[in-house]
A and B are shown apart, each in its own frame.
Chain A
């Protein structure tokens, strides 16, 4: 009597010598990886070092923010918006307040508009500085990190002096602002902003003509303008593709039409051009901040809050308002049923939608370039996962 087949006999070795008989290998990138800027998981299919496909898996930071919005009254929603893109809280507050003001037909006093724009642009500078620091570190450039955090610290201190918080600012209210500027604050902003131009030159000295930086970024993660529009990509990636489209100019809000600034554009739609666009945006934001300082010094008096009703009950209907956040078009879609709580409040997060283009941008590159591509989209997972 013979033993059943397969028992007591060693398995025959595979015929070929490639791993498991497969040419492609699946590789897990994240969710706990330092260069994913948070908890982003990417499932890679690699052929050697080359990326065949990249599949982002998100949701590790999902907090049900949109569900929470529905349980809070309109003013109570503002602190929740701080925690979406937590390195750019001012623009989040701004987009939400604009949406509710649009529904109510509220007018914001001019002084409040200037302070809002000032805060927005300071926030854009601090967000771009953080981007430069982390994107640099991802590619091995350590020094910009120390330089940019030196300047970012000053901005955060200024925010702290104005509203008491450094990151989760909660600095805007429906119809205007909570507090007027503290005495001497404008001068401090000026003291920071005027020499900031030289600081930007310092960063550019380190990177713009740096041979390693150029080798790592030129031609990496290309997404042309037509594809950007098809994928809904906005912000610096869209402008780096040569399309001068910016919500501040296209659908102007607050006092932006009165301000003098340019929209920097790139040409090659790659990581290097996105870097150049962001550096140029730092200079433009600096210009806007100085113009706001001039206006506020000339007009120190005036209300900072419009005729906001005590109980905010927007009429039945729906509205959408957007701002140009540091990452792209950030919008809020509000559906009101006439009560004091939003019936539905949806966020149009630029990070989430820009991240969708990652597989296309990473395909065909080396695994080490994936780090550059993640950095160049400038995602914040708090906004991606909400």
Chain B
């Protein structure tokens, strides 16, 4: 005769170490130390994640930091973009990604926090290629760049009401009329606030 044993409760897989890459502190790397020494007050923090070095830089020191890195053989600006952290202060991150042809193809990422309505200094004086990239960030995030030679919208049309990559911009887009009658439609674009179809990213 067999006795039916009640199934053992499966222990929840808690406390299992999370797999995957972990971020580590990178403020003692020679590259970061060199940047902090050459441009005092620029490095706020630095971390390394999946082999990439990311340095948080103070907004008023970013141009000096970029100039220093360009002189230190980081001559190629790979990418410039922004991230919207809707509920954070400062709201935006502007992200620079630099490449060095000499130091074994090393790359470094700089980030600056930009508050809403605040001006970010334009990198066009240091890297000419940032011209269109900054126009794209201005167009899609509404971040203005100080001393930019030609700060116009680039992907959406002139007169477009709103900045599509902001998290509070509706995913389904806005009515074309919003561009023509901005007083009827909310600032930042989208259907009228009482429209039941209005939905935004969380």
Task: Report A's interface with B, CB cutoff 8 A.
Answer: 58-59, 62, 64, 66-68, 70-71, 102-105, 229-232, 243, 245, 250-251, 314-315, 317-320, 322, 329, 331, 333, 335, 343-344, 346, 348, 352-353, 356, 385-386
Given A319-B52, A352-B132, the answer on whether A58 and B20 have CB atoms closer than 8 Å is no
Q: Is the CB of A64 within 8 A of B127?
A: no
Decide if B21 touches A103 in the complex (CB within 8 Å).
Answer: yes
A232 to chain B: which residues have CB within 8 Å? 76-78, 127, 129
Q: List 24 A-B contacts (CB under 8 A).
A: A59-B153, A59-B156, A59-B157, A67-B165, A70-B201, A102-B50, A229-B75, A229-B76, A230-B129, A232-B127, A245-B101, A315-B21, A317-B23, A317-B50, A318-B49, A320-B78, A320-B79, A320-B107, A320-B109, A331-B79, A333-B79, A346-B79, A348-B79, A352-B132
Q: A103-B21, A105-B21, A229-B101 are in contact. Are A319 and B50 (CB under 8 A)?
A: yes
Decide yes or no: A344 and B83 within 8 Å by CB, A59-B156, A103-B20, A317-B49 being known contacts. yes
A259 to B49 CA separation, bound complex (whole angstroms) = 28
Chain B residue with Cβ nearest A321:
B50
Determine the distance from Cα of A315 to Cα of B73 in the docked complex, in whole angstroms: 32
| Given A317-B49, A335-B83: A62 touches B76 (CB 8 Å cut-off) | no
Q: State in angstroms the CA–CA spacing of A386 and B139 once bound together.
A: 13
CA distance A332 to B94 in the complex (A): 16
- Bound complex: CA of A104 vs CA of B18, how far in Å? 11
The A/B interface has a contact count, at CB < 8 Å, of: 96
A318 proximity list for chain B (CB < 8 A): 49, 52, 54, 109
Q: Interface residues of B: mostly helix, strand, loop or mixed?
A: loop
* Bound CA span A102–B52, Å: 11
* Docked pose: A386 CA to B132 CA in angstroms: 14
Cβ of B31 under 8 Å from chain A: no
Task: Note all chain B residues with C-beta closer than 8 A to A386.
Answer: 155
Q: Which residue of A lies closest to B84 (CB)?
A: A344
Check: B95 CB closer than 8 A to any chain A CB.
Answer: yes
For the complex, is B97 an interface residue (Cβ under 8 Å from A)? yes
**In whole Å, how far is B14's beta carbon from the nearest beta carbon of chain A?**
17
CA distance A385 to B140 in the complex (A): 12
Contact present for A356 and B131 (CB under 8 Å): yes
Which A residues lie within 8 Å of B75 (CB)? 229-230
Return the chain B residue nearest A357 by Cβ. Answer: B129
Contact between B127 and A230, CB atoms less than 8 A apart: yes
